[in-house]
Amino acid sequence: MDFITIDSQSVPIEGEKNILSIIRKAGIDLPTFCYHSELSIYGACRMCVVEDDRGRVFASCSEQPRKGMVIKTNSSKIQKYRKLIMELLLSSHCRDCTTCHKNGICELQKLAYKVGVDAVRFTNNKETLPLDTSSPSIVRDPNKCILCGDCVRTCDEVQGVGALDFAFRGSEMQVMPAFNKPLAETNCVGCGQCRVVCPTGAITIKKDEERVWEALDDPNTRVVAQIAPAVRVAIGDSFGIPKGTNSMGKLVGALRRMGFDKVYDTTFGADLTVYEESKELVERIQNNEKLPLFTSCCPGWVKFCENKFPELTDHISTCRSPQGMFSALLKDYYRTQDEKEGVDMKTFVVSIMPCTAKKGEAIRDDYKTDGVQDTDASITTAEAARMIRRAAIKFEDIEEEAVDMPFGIVSGGGVIFGVTGGVTEAVLRKISYDKDHNHKALGEIKFSGIRGIEGVKETSIMLGDREVKIAVVHGLGNASKLIEEIKAGKRNYDFVEVMACKRGCVMGGGQPVPAGPRTKQMRMKGLYSVDTASQVRTSNENPLVRLVYDDMINGREHKLLHTR
Amino acid sequence: MLDQSYYEKADQIIGNYGRQQSALIPIIQEIQNEYRYLPPELLTYVAKELKINEAKAYSVATFYENFSFDPKGKYIIKVCDGTACHVRKSIPILDFLYKELNLSKEKNTSDDMLFTVETVSCLGACGLAPVLTVNDKVYPAMNPEKAGELLKELRGEA
């Protein structure tokens, strides 16, 4: 085995492509902004500079390890350079830290502290540029951009969207959409993955908190919350709770203290989705039309398909997403209830989502019932955490509470909607249950190859004597490649689950940041544990779903639960 | 909206380069040669035809000083401001042209669409300094007076 020397430590080269990985393996956490293991190497931020025994200084992320190299990561020369580089990054950065939405969770702030910058000697001579607030999902503040290119590479390489890129040159360089168009006029799908990787406040979530506070303040408004599956394993991040812990009970308690009248679980909407989507799948297979059927739970994916593959929009399930179904149902339920009891009250539905694209979904025309918006405000996990903080609630000490009836029982299958493969797993549980009229071993479905983090996963089940071919894909870049292959006839499926974000909603654009590899893993694990611990694992075992169909929906599925 | 003929021309140029993504720069150069500027609509069109993200194509087009999204004048006057030309007094020539044509660094095309005045870093003709070019024709050993005569000559031609 070959070795290199890092600060007098001998470290083996075990297939690492760059020196930075070996340095980190050796226990030295060199600071970086532009290095992400899932993205290509760019070498822009220069924070990872090191020195070799000949006094050569270079960026360790973009240098191949060679046998016998002697690397110094902390010589006084390197410390001086690193400080200077940080100073230069800070010099053209808008340093309004106290009012920045990234205050306290900002990578730039954190690394400036780590590197030990005590003064910035250079003045910022850049003109102040306007913010782009056109998108319902994210806000772009070019004054806070440090040009690390993380958003550019994520949008292009991972998501295959490419709405952002560098423009101009040298000191005039900026990150922007083509012709500096407002994001709302580009092919941006609002997935928010750029915001997840952005180390500064240059890309942040479009906030909808104020409207929620106003509704909470109004005595004539009934404020109802629904909490998406993936939120429960991430919100604890903002309050120092171990990664991946299920904090659903605490969140329910916190929302009640903030004044929410009723709190529900979006998983109930997911259970309805399982019903509607499996019915649609079976129908399409019987009629052999518009196959493969694409899932419709993910608004980033739906918009991506509309932009890039408009000819395939017919293949997307007509089901509304769990958010959409549940909001429509809640609005309808309270309207009927109020009419019966002669109560004059407004109902304001707030959805708490791991997702920035859900904000865009909430205002879509096909997510309105009789022209009325069903989800009044869609806020992200990160915004919910901010609201709890503003209300000065000690989240970590709060007692766990249960969600409200009559939608208070949810299935484990619905909970795993928040992770890639979950929708498919829940649908498979339902279909195989229907078919055999006995509960086919859940384990068999679990190990059928739909779990895990490979970009594209495949499985198949028998429906009668017909083999149903299924693909699960996450990350829009992967989805795009898969669809090109389907169009070229190289692959053939009946059902394709698409999640815009890699790993699914647990790593959605609205989740707390930063989230490293361990956090990602723990969030997935967390959701699977919630499923395993549920009494009800399959949507059709949920006794309340049947009641809702009989008492509330009454054959109005297409009005309340579908886009058309 | 651009006239259909623009898109046909773009199609023809794209065809000449075999729809190669790597030919983005020569394609937009040729379009710019044709129209003396790069119509933004055509950049978007070329990007779409080559399956390059529009933002990426914009990134390339803004990286190079040479590409212009604004229509240029009939005569593009490039004043060389490389080291040799600069020390042999190219700036007075540039100032003269700006004053005479009522232009500036920001507004570099005259309202009658006759002249565009730009600077270039070096034309590689240092022996002839200070030098300027009009639509690629080289005028050596210039000074403000000669530039004035040149303008008159060009105006007479027009």
- The domain spans of chain A are 3-74, 122-205, 210-560
pLDDT single digits (tens) A167-203? 999 889 999 999 999 999 999 999 999 999 999 999 9
pLDDT single digits (tens) A99-148? 999 999 999 999 999 999 989 999 888 889 999 999 999 999 999 999 99
Q: Mean of the per-residue pLDDT values for chain A?
A: 92
**Chain A interface test: which of B38, B62, B66 (most A C-beta within 10 Å):** B62
Contacts of B63 in chain A (CB under 8 A): 168-169
- Judgement on whether residues B34 and B11 belong to the same structural domain of the protein: yes
Min Cα distance A188 → chain B (Å) is: 11
Residue A156 pLDDT > 90: yes
Residue A177 preceded by cis peptide, ω within 30: no
Min Cα distance B68 → chain A (Å) is: 12
How many distinct structural domains can be found in chain B? Answer: 2
pLDDT score for A214: 96
Q: Do A177 and B55 touch (CB under 8 A)?
A: yes
Min Cα distance B44 → chain A (Å) is: 9
What band does A437 get if pLDDT is binned at 50, 70 and 90? Answer: very low
- Judgement on whether residues B87 and B152 belong to the same structural domain of the protein: yes
Are B69 and B40 within 8 A, CB to CB?
yes
pLDDT single digits (tens) A254-304? 999 999 999 999 999 999 999 999 999 989 998 988 889 999 999 999 999
Question: Of A317, A248, A325, A120, whose CA–CA distance to A533 is shortest?
Answer: A248
Q: What is the pTM of this model?
A: 0.90
Which among A162, A176, A187 has the least Cβ separation from residue B56? A162
Give the domain A3-74 fold. Answer: Ubiquitin-like (UB roll) (3.10.20)
Return averaged pLDDT per consecutive 10 residues of chain B, 158 residues in all: 91 93 95 92 95 96 92 92 94 94 91 92 91 92 93 81
Q: How many CB atoms lie within 10 A of CB A238?
A: 21
Class of domain A122-205: alpha beta
Contacts of A179 in chain B (CB under 8 A): 40, 58
Which among B40, B44, B53 has the least Cβ separation from residue A165? B53
- Alpha-carbon B108 to chain mean position: 11
Residue A397 pLDDT > 70: yes
Residue A435 pLDDT > 80: no
- What is the bridge-based pairing of β-strands A262-265 and A221-227? parallel
- Judgement on whether residues B55 and B79 belong to the same structural domain of the protein: no
Q: Which residues of A199-213 are buried (b: 16+ CB within 10 A; e: fewer)?
A: bbbbbbbbbbbeebe
pLDDT score for A110: 94
Q: Do B53 and A162 touch (CB under 8 A)?
A: yes
- Judgement on whether residues B10 and B46 belong to the same structural domain of the protein: yes
- Judgement on whether residues B44 and B108 belong to the same structural domain of the protein: no
The predicted complex's ipTM stands at 0.88
- Judgement on whether residues B84 and B142 belong to the same structural domain of the protein: yes
pLDDT score for A452: 84
Measured CA to CA, the distance from residue A127 to residue A441 in angstroms comes to: 63
Q: For residue B153, what are the domain limits?
A: 75-157
Residue B68 included in any domain: no
Contacts of B51 in chain A (CB under 8 A): none
Question: Of A358, A405, A406, A422, whose CA–CA distance to A136 is shortest?
Answer: A358
Q: Do B58 and A167 touch (CB under 8 A)?
A: yes
Contacts of B53 in chain A (CB under 8 A): 156, 161-163, 165, 178
Contacts of A187 in chain B (CB under 8 A): 54
Query: Which CATH number does the domain housing residue B31 bear?
Result: 1.10.10
Residue B129 included in any domain: yes
- Judgement on whether residues B34 and B85 belong to the same structural domain of the protein: no
Measured CA to CA, the distance from residue A445 to residue A458 in angstroms comes to: 12
pLDDT score for A125: 86
pLDDT score for A554: 84
Which among A168, A169, A178 has the least Cβ separation from residue B55? A178
Min Cα distance B64 → chain A (Å) is: 8
Q: Does B44 touch chain A (CB under 8 A)?
A: yes
- Judgement on whether residues B53 and B81 belong to the same structural domain of the protein: no
CATH number for domain A210-560, candidates 3.40.190.10, 3.40.50.2300, 3.40.50.1780, 3.40.309.10: 3.40.50.1780
pLDDT single digits (tens) A319-357? 999 999 999 999 999 999 999 999 999 999 999 999 999
